[in-house]
Each structure stands twice: as C-alpha cells, then as structure tokens.
Structure 1
Amino acid sequence: MSLPDGYTDVPAGKLATVVTALEMLAPPAARPDPSPAPWTLRPAHRPDLDWYRDLYRRVGEDWLWFSRLRMADTALAAIIHDPGVAVFALAVDGRDEGLLELDFRAPGICELAFFGVTAGQLGSGAGRWLMNRAVEQAWSRPIGRLWVHTCTLDHPAALAFYIRSGFTPYQRQIEIADDPRLLGEAPRSAAAHIPML
C-alpha cells in the first residue's frame, strides 16, 4: 500500500509517528568517551520483569515508549530471558539510569532494540558513553550488521545522534498506535510535547 501525497487523518486516540531505520555494516571509528566517565555498564542476566519495566518507563516515558508495557509477563520474559538477548543497565552511583538491549537472535545481525538514559542523564555524556558500550558489545560477536530504529516521538536529537554514531538511514515508515496515555500505560502528563487527541 502506498500513501497518497498530502495529509492523512489520524483517528482520535491514536499516535502517528515517522520511523527511521538505520544500520551499521562494520564497526565505526572509535569515538572518545566523555571524561570523566562516572558510569558503569551492568549486565542484567535474566532480568526481573518489575526491574525491567521500571527502568524502561523511567528511560522511555517522555518519548512514549509503550511496546514492552503492552506485553504480558510471559511474552516479555520470552524476549528478555532469551539467551540471544543481552540486557544492560547504565549505572550511576549504584542506581540504574540507562537501558541497553541488544538482540542477537537473528544470525549475523544485532538489533539495538532499546537504548536510552533517564532524563537526569540527558546532556551529561551518558548517551555517548552508553553508545560506545553498545557498539563494543554488538561487534564483539560475529555479526555483519547492527541496526536500530528511531521515531519522531523520540528525543529530537536521537536521529542525528545515531547518524553521528556511525549508523546510516535505510528505511522510513509510518507507525500508527493507540496513545499509551489514554490506555493508562503512561501518565497523562508524559510527553507534554505531543498533544493528546
């Protein structure tokens, strides 16, 4: 199906976002870590579902991350407990303030499934530091492709950040979904920059 040029109405209660998929076909040149770097990367082997959802919410609430909030416990556990999925937390002074999830379930490919830091870490260099760790972790395995997608609900600098990190855009899509604020999956005050209809 192709969309016609011009405007297309989005029903009330729905969100529409432009999704851009990006890929990296070889490890990029190393980018220096911010200094000093007060962060550590903590592997979360078979993470507790409540812990995971709490961090997922704290990182993604302002950007209306909702996909994992809609999953039943069994569906979420099947993903994040799979040996082909690696979950990490960015820790600051003993508190988890960033989420990194790498999905190696497809042979030779790694999806940067979830990546982000909490609001208190934005602008601190934590995102750059965490991306450096993401790239190291991904390319430490026998892959030929690392990919990620971002959308217009994400932080306004997300797309440019991924490009600076060595990813190249290759696909654009439109995603329509129920607004998680109207379903009680996110507070009504979340993502004030995106009006509820």
Structure 2
Amino acid sequence: MSYALTTHYLEMTAPDQLVPARTPEPEPHIEQACVPLPELNRFLYTAVGGDWYWRDRLAWSYADWLQWLDRPEVQTWVLYDRGTTAGYVELERQAGDDVEIAYFGLIPRFIGRGLGGHLLTVGIHKAWAMQARRVWVHTCTLDGPAALANYRARGLRLYREETVERADPGAPDGPWPGAR
C-alpha cells in the first residue's frame, strides 16, 4: 500500500513579513536551552513528533545528538506552560545566512490553545535575530493538521511543493514504544 506524500517548502525573506499570533493568557514562558543536552532534545523530538512520524533522528546516538547540538548554528527554544514543558522550536543557521526552522511543535496535550502560533512567532523573531537572510521551513502531509496553516498565518510563503509516492508508514510511534 502506498500514499502520496506532499512536502511544502515555505519561506520569509524579510522580518516585516511576520504576522504575529496573539499572545495567550497567561503568557507562556519561552527560554533558550543554552547547554547542549541530547537528553532534552531527544525528549522534545519524540514527545512532539511521535504522533507525526518524526523518525529521522530516532537512530541517533548520544554522540550524534551532541555533535548536532554543540554548534553555534543551532538554537533550541523551549516553551513552558505554567512550568511544564509544552513544545519547542529548533533553529539552524545554514550556509548563505538562511535560518531553517528545523523542528517545531507542541506536545499533543498543549495543542489547540493558541500556544503554537505564539511559539512560532517567537521562533521566527529568534531566527531573524540570528542575522538571517531568509527564514524557511518545510512541512508535509504527515505533520500535524494545523502546521501548514500556522506557517502561512505567520506570513511564511510557499515557494515549492513536491509530491512523491511512499510506502504506508504504518501507525505513528507515539512518544515511546507502546505509549499509544
């Protein structure tokens, strides 16, 4: 069994293109994780992406995670709702001064409360603060159903789409084996 996987590539080429989301009440706290900590980023990756087929990094070793994170080009910003980790945005400055929103999302329990738009707004501000020439992201039909709409609502514009036939990915993994 196969299905059509569509990947959407979006970009913003100037900071004034950002359309900020409303700030939720009470305002959640967003803080940069300044110490490269594979345990934290792997937790965020699986807790946020487990329901959306994020599998690319599951085989990474501790050393792989540390090598990725322990670079000045990578920033992780963590969203806290009333002291509880709720989501994150991971930014990577790339050659040519592009900044990619490498990973972004909320832990499922926090979806639907306006936190994602706020976190994305802050993440885009942080990307521009990295002296970006362009901020970009890609999402696909396996990602959360609100992802593409949130990116567009913040002012990111579609610049490319690709559709390929893929094997059925089966059920999503969840945050850890057997969690669902």
Same fold (TM over 0.5): yes
Q: Shift of residue 49 of structure 1? A: 1.3
Distance 1:184 1:166, change over 3 A: closer
Matched with 2:123 is: 134
Q: Shift of residue 185 of structure 1? A: 8.8
Matched with 1:49 is: 38
2:152 maps to which of 160, 163, 176: 163
Deviations 1:41-64 (A, max 9, x none): 121123321222112111111111
CA distance in 1, matches of 2:125, 2:32: 14
Distance 1:182 1:151, change over 3 A: closer
The answer on whether the counterparts of 1:150 and 1:158 sit within 8 Å (CA) in structure 2 is: yes
What root-mean-square deviation, in Å, do the aligned CA atoms of Structure 1 and Structure 2 show? Answer: 2.6
Pair 1:22 & 2:20 matched: no
2:84 maps to which of 95, 107, 115: 95
For normalisation by structure 2, the TM-score amounts to 0.85
Q: Shift of residue 29 of structure 1? A: 4.3
Query: In terms of mean alpha carbon deviation, does 22-31 or 132-141 score higher?
Result: 22-31
Q: Shift of residue 70 of structure 1? A: 2.3
The answer on whether the counterparts of 1:181 and 1:188 sit within 8 Å (CA) in structure 2 is: no
Matched with 1:145 is: 134
Pair 1:120 & 2:113 matched: no
Q: Shift of residue 79 of structure 1? A: 1.3
5+ long unaligned stretches in structure 1: 1-8, 191-197
Letter in 1 for 2:115: A
- The 3-state SS of whatever aligns with 2:130 is coil
Distance 1:94 1:118, change over 3 A: same
Larger relative helix fraction: 2
Distance 1:170 1:30, change over 3 A: closer
Distance 1:155 1:184, change over 3 A: closer
For normalisation by structure 1, the TM-score amounts to 0.79
Matched with 2:27 is: 38
- The 3-state SS of whatever aligns with 2:20 is coil
5+ long unaligned stretches in structure 2: none
Q: Which has the larger radius of gyration?
A: 1
User: What are the equivalent positions in structure 2 for 1:78-89 lying under 5 Å apart?
Assistant: 78-89=67-78
Distance 1:176 1:161, change over 3 A: same
Distance 1:113 1:164, change over 3 A: same
